[in-house]
Structure 1
């Protein structure tokens, strides 16, 4: 049939009008936000794809619940800088573990209780990616691999077994669909641990379908930072099989007493040869050893489903059993999966957006999802947790949490949670406080993992989180104890002695391995910021002497600025300047952590005016900052300029607001959202870092971000979406919702023309937290060209 050209033109016009606010509107059910989650975003550790040793997102694709203890996920690798235990480009799976870390650099940890369904001959070593047939690992069908909120499935080609995973907060449940086989099996490597090994394990058969036991994971077995991160924990488990244990047993590798058991040891050929020749003991009901596994053999009909459900605890065997009984009392895999999905749907309702493309919605809600993996619960359903003194405690009025990636997450992740999950922020402050008290150390750790004072990275980020929370009225803790610990923390590591800090006790993974850092620029600047945080806390508590002291110390950043060079410069311990490198401020690691002086130098969030004055004034700084962004590569991967792949620059796009050029904040945040975040496996340009990379996107995409946590000012920028609704927490705010509307918004119309707050015009490029917390509507009119008269402050 022929169609008149005028009709076609009319149809095109209607479609154009219908899509005027966005290039392509998303058509999914607006109440089914979890359908947008793509757990594969960032799930790669590839250094080749990243072009740098830090790799890409390092997320995991398995099943989890919001802030849950369990993350049940496929594992493709045990060692190296592969903290999630999984990388999409790997061609084999070695098993499915119950605990994972999300997006971390350095040698990871967890990855405990590695389960593998197999058929045929029993093998006790995982084998290698190069020779998977030497072990129990399997090739897998990429096209069969599926992941969604709270669920993962894949087909293991070598065994013809479909594996499905889902989770509750403290438990995981596996559903295996076997082929017809006389020698089908579920085997569990109890020694396995990402980045090393468990050094001692115990397993006991309780009845015809239940086993219980534990795995000890001390620093001697590698793990976090290959032992340098000091992670020391025990995982207790209570596991039940849907098919009776008629033919079962253990394997035990005879590990000599003198053998080292760090990562390089347990992945070596001699070690793996011993594991491959482990002693099999059929019918044994209880065993303890250095490298144990458990197996149960059975025959299966074609498409027969066999289930395994496991509760874990870091406290006790009783806790693991209680967790399982409370959360998965039957065998309804589909119901557990449905509940996990609903939990994510409820969690994502904290921020709803409209007007984005399908990809933009997927990126946004996956980012929101990734921001709610950690800090995870560290206590059992009866509120018991293992403390910093290795004794059992019971939480009161808070949930004990763990995995505080401080240096990363103080910038965006925790400021985001103060808006949508303030109770989680309060829990983390309580958790770090109880750890400081119970351990007897009396100070806040900068990177906490399972009670470990890992000393990873630099600064005093817990003080930032505390100052920001306290300023926002999140105060369900003993402030006198908290302030004392914060003060001890600042005194232990601060600028007071010399007015600058060269060395710290930080453990950091540099390109040359692991080192104690001589990072005078990064240390001095970051400590100056948290000393400002201390001054604000002291002021709020009417501690005038402390307020003055820390306010003065907050100016220490000036002591590493070389006026001759016009930039920040590394110092020696005696205060003399280090030799200026040939590449100048582009020299990576020159007094800086995972950055160069050009990148780190912008970190004076608490005194932007003072920083601008040092650097030569507004016009000079504006030109320099513009150059900083324009020289960044199109793909935003690791580079010497605006390096979104790592945290030190995450506040920098918002500095244009403070330089009376807010249209450039609008331009560059939209550029970063578009260029650095994609709906694909390589969709994160750098490590996810326990929620930080994703939280940055969430805040930038809704058009609000702090430069300086602890200061209640939120910078306004160009939102990705036409309409955003933030559900406020009634316990910590007086309002119910805060909405942002961006009229005439599109990928071209990225510039704010004018703004109204609750119907009243505003000509400033920021909001105060109190204006958000009472609820209301920020309405923005968008256009294709900058309005250079909107949002300006007084001249600087």
Structure 2
């Protein structure tokens, strides 16, 4: 099967290593199936760039708890789909891409034939429910298009989408027992009391509206829908599995069959048809954060017709337009597929969160209107501040500015007066450490992409950083670090707060706010307080000023770190790498430390400590699947051995990315893993967002052309590129030979040409 899959991935009409041109359809190089196996947590379904609808198959329903305890298998299904599964339970309309936590999976639709079954059954006995077996041989996944045959029912399922509307097309056999099941119980992050309430209203024999309110990862989340059929159904009904429907006067009716209102906590509805052989039943399913009227308006605005192929073509044209922003000439078919799939994954999140008329549900649970910007949600900021938003500042500046305005709206609606930490669908999840909205905002301001109220943005950043009730900030402000005996994950928090403080200082400096600059540049040095010169590592510190006695630099649990260990986090001072290197003993000792990180062998116990780490995502003790390590390979640039950065990044590209279902060495995390790939393939990386500097690496393509929104073009060329010629001999920017392994944001935005001359041996004196 793997050989067959590789053949399917790699065989296209055009040579994959040819340089892309404006008339080339780049969607052919995107394979959404990449990352759907093991750790990637991506989904293969249909969506448009940054779309509000992500219409994709679910391959299992996993309870959050088993025997009263957390079920670790839940982690596998953050995107609802696992490539190794043999059955499909249906197609739902909302999904995260590449996350390490789950939610969404709203409004699951499943077409069936034969005797009606309203439970999903089990993977081992699919005939016990409405699920169906399927084969990857009949599965097609393209940008904004997904197709699969449901073997149990001989139904061909096809999916496409506009921004706010999912479009289903099901080709049925001849039968008098055709059903469309609408499962409002199903969802990702399933546990018993997730559904607060669901409601379905049958408006007529082709139109259904309703909503779903859940209490999952998002504490209170409401999504409205409008569902339109291409053919009238002749019968419908539902079952309320919670038996909690309020009957009252409604007890006079048979509510289970042909009753136009369905309300309850656990509802599965069905709609019956009679079909001829090859007949297509189409469904348009629109979402809204505001109302069923908003959903219906979205449906009529975006897809007023029933032409499935037109929606698919329009969606793929949108994808092609976005992919054309970087045209590359790759050295192999694999790299062409990897690069444009990375572009695709990077443009899935954040997601649109407003109706066609601008209405959206705010953090205060009131309805608002986005004026002058597109409102976005799905901010996985602990991940995406590192490379995804810096990438947007280059090739998606307008969208990135709108995302920041969405963050500022979140701040204005917050009772805490805090910027988002990890937010989606009018909810703050408070997931992970730091307050990295400030990094995204500062990066945009420093790089000149700030068409918003920068003074208000600075105020939001400062108030967030001073909010004492949040995650140890009170102790951080009191002690200059977070004490481990007062607040867990203390070292990670101290280091991340110090970096965010540095970002605020840079923004304040640019806006001539000396008072704020002085306060936060002092706070930015707090990383020094958790460095233990005796061990050479960052280490948990107690409130009495002593280092915690129990310390293991390799252990990930209960050592003061989150998603990493002391080896990883001791390298997290992106705002002051030269100072960090000196603090850790100077360049020679630091290079040895970095070398050891990449070459050491971790014991099996390390992998048993946390479910989201496997050997697939690790090189030595370098954990590419966990973001705190993403800048680490570039730190050699601040030493006498920048050639080791070139060697390491090319190795990581080969080991962590491949054009296969298991082709991502870790969660894609809303595009961060993919953004790392894009930057590194191009030959530079934003080690410290909030500065205007990029560290150079070793480009892994022959040519790239970045089409910038300001109308200029930035070209990257390599001379002598090959898998063996990974070492940079010389770099020339617009005719000037660089003497340091860095370029600036303005160098890129000015347009021009960056040329790398490559060789098979390190040029140890190429930067002087």
Compute the displacement of 1:635 (Å): 7.1
Give the CA deviation at 1:640.
6.1
Match of 1:499 in 2: 480
1:203 and 2:203 aligned: no
1:513-568, Cα deviation, whole Å (9 max, x unpaired) = xxx96112111111110111111111112121221121111111111111111221
Alignment of 1:239 with 2:239, yes or no, is: no
Distance in 2, matches of 1:772 and 1:346, equals 21
Structure 1 residue aligned with 2:729: 753
1:118-164 Cα distance to aligned partner (Å, 9 max, x none)? 01111111122233222111111221111011100111111111100
Distance 2:497 2:414 in 1: 24
Say whether residues 1:290 and 2:245 are aligned partners.
Answer: no
The answer to whether the aligner puts 1:631 opposite 2:600 as a matched pair is yes
Cα shift readout 1:70-102 (whole Å, capped 9, x = no counterpart):
010001123312211111111111110011111
Asked if residue 684 in structure 1 is aligned to residue 667 in structure 2, the reply is: no
* TM-score normalised by the chain length of structure 1: 0.87
Match of residue 494 from structure 2 = 524
Indicate how the Cα distance of structure 1 residues 344 and 611 shifts in structure 2: closer, same or farther if over 3 A, else same: same
- 1:166 alignment counterpart: 160
Partner residue, 2:639: 659
2:90 to 92, 95, 98: 95
The match for 1:331 is 306
Query: Which residue matches 2:705?
Result: 725
Output aligned runs, 1:63-78, within 5 Å: 63-78=46-61
CA contact (8 A) 1:138 1:157 kept: yes
Pick the aligned partner of 1:547 from 499, 517, 521: 517
Q: Deviations over 1:320-355 (max 9, x none)?
A: 011110111111001101111111000101111113
Q: CA deviation at 1:316?
A: 0.9
Query: Do the aligned partners of 2:20 and 2:327 also contact (CA within 8 Å) in 1?
Result: no
| Corresponding residue of 1:49 | none
Distance in structure 2 (CA, Å) of the matches to 1:686 and 1:668: 18
Count matched residues: 714
Alpha-carbon distance in structure 2 between the residues aligned to 1:479 and 1:637: 39
How is 1:3-402 mapped onto 2 (pairs within 5 angstroms)? 25-26=17-18, 31-44=24-37, 46=38, 56-79=39-62, 80-81=74-75, 82-106=77-101, 108-196=102-190, 197-217=194-214, 219=215, 223-224=216-217, 230-255=218-243, 281-402=256-377
Please report how far the alpha carbon of residue 185 of structure 1 lies from its aligned counterpart in structure 2 after TM superposition.
1.0
Check 1:256–1:243 CA distance in 2 against 1; reply closer, same or farther (3 A cut).
closer
Please identify, of 631-640 and 70-79, the stretch whose mean Cα deviation from structure 2 is larger: 631-640
More displaced 10-residue stretch of structure 1: 636-645 or 447-456: 636-645
Q: 1:711-757 CA distances to partner (integer Å, 9 max, x unpaired)?
A: 11111111111001111122xxxx61111000110111111111211
Residue 695 of structure 1 corresponds to which residue in structure 2? 675
CA distance in 1, matches of 2:696, 2:19: 28
Match of 2:540 in 1: 570
The answer to whether the 8 A contact 1:251-1:280 is kept is no
In 1, Cα distance between equivalents of 2:359 and 2:426: 14
Contact 2:445 2:454 in 1 (8 A): no
Counterpart position of 2:610: none
Q: Is the 1:660–1:791 contact (alpha carbons within 8 Å) kept by the matching residues of 2?
A: no
Residues 483 and 661 (structure 1 numbering): CA distance in 2 closer, same or farther, change over 3 Å?
same
Instruction: State whether residues 484 and 542 of structure 2, in contact with CA within 8 Å, keep that contact through their aligned partners in structure 1.
Output: no
587, 591, 594: which one aligns with 1:618 = 587
In 2 relative to 1, CA 502–31 (structure 1 residues): closer, same or farther, beyond 3 Å?
farther
Mind listing any 5+ residue stretches in structure 1 that lack a counterpart?
1-22, 47-55, 225-229, 259-278, 505-515
Partner Cα distance (1:561, 1:570) in 2: 9
Residues 39-64 of structure 1, C-alpha deviations (whole Å, 9 max, x = no match)? 011112x4xxxxxxxxx000000011
SS in 1 for 2:506: helix
How far has the Cα of 1:26 moved from its partner? 4.6
Deviates more, 1:420-429 or 1:587-596: 587-596
Return the alpha-carbon distance in structure 2 between the equivalents of residues 444 and 123 of structure 1: 46
Q: Contact 2:255–2:262 at 8 Å: present in 1 too?
A: no
Q: Whole-Å Cα distance in 2 between the matches of residues 619 and 131 of structure 1?
A: 61
Cα deviation for residue 782 of structure 1 reads 1.0
2:443 match: secondary structure: helix
1:410 to 2:375 alignment: no
- Alignment partners' CA distance in 1, 2:375 and 2:195: 24
Equivalent residues of 1:522, 1:591 under 8 A apart: yes
Give the match for residue 510 of structure 1: none
1:644-669: CA deviation from partner (whole Å, max 9, x where unpaired): 11101000011011113221111111
Distance 2:32 2:349 in 1: 15
Any stretches of 5+ residues in structure 2 without a counterpart?
1-14, 63-73, 247-253, 603-613
1:436 and 2:429 are equivalent in the alignment: no
* Aligned CA distance change for structure 1 residues 281 and 587 (closer, same or farther; 3 Å): closer
Root-mean-square deviation (CA, aligned residues, Å) is 2.0
SS at match of 2:535: coil
Which residue is 2:12 aligned to? none
- Pair 1:630–1:435, CA change in 2 (3 A): same
Query: How far apart are the structure 2 equivalents of 1:170 and 1:574?
Result: 54
> 1:502·1:523 contact (CA, 8 Å) conserved in 2?
no
Q: Distance in 1 between matches of 2:581 and 2:48?
A: 44
| C-alpha contact 2:164 2:298 (8 A) present in aligned 1 | yes
Displacement of 1:24 after TM fit?
Answer: 8.3
2:423 aligns with 448
| Structure 1 residues 58 and 249, CA gap change in structure 2 (3 angstroms) | same
Residues 698-709 of structure 1: pairs in structure 2 closer than 5 A = 698-709=678-689
- Aligned to 1:496, the other structure's residue is in SS state helix
Q: Residue 58 of structure 1 contacts residue 84 of structure 1 at CA under 8 Å; is this kept in 2?
A: yes
How far apart, CA to CA, are the structure 2 residues paired with 1:434 and 1:168?
A: 25
**SS of residue matched to 2:103:** coil
Q: Is the 8 A contact 2:19 2:328 kept in 1?
A: no
Q: What SS does the corresponding residue of 1:487 show, helix, strand or coil?
A: helix
For 1:589 and 1:785, locate their aligned partners in 2 and report how far apart those are by CA, in whole Å: 43
Residue 761 of structure 1 and its aligned partner are, at CA, apart by 2.1
User: How far apart are residue 199 of structure 1 and its match?
Assistant: 2.5
SS in 2 for 1:668: helix
Q: Is the 8 A contact 1:205 1:212 kept in 2?
A: yes
Q: Give the stretch that moved more between structures: 96-105 or 567-576.
A: 567-576
SS at match of 2:699: coil
Deviations 1:221-250, CA, capped at 9 Å, x for gaps: xx32xxxxx442211111111111212222
Q: 1:122 to 1:521 in 2, by over 3 A?
A: same
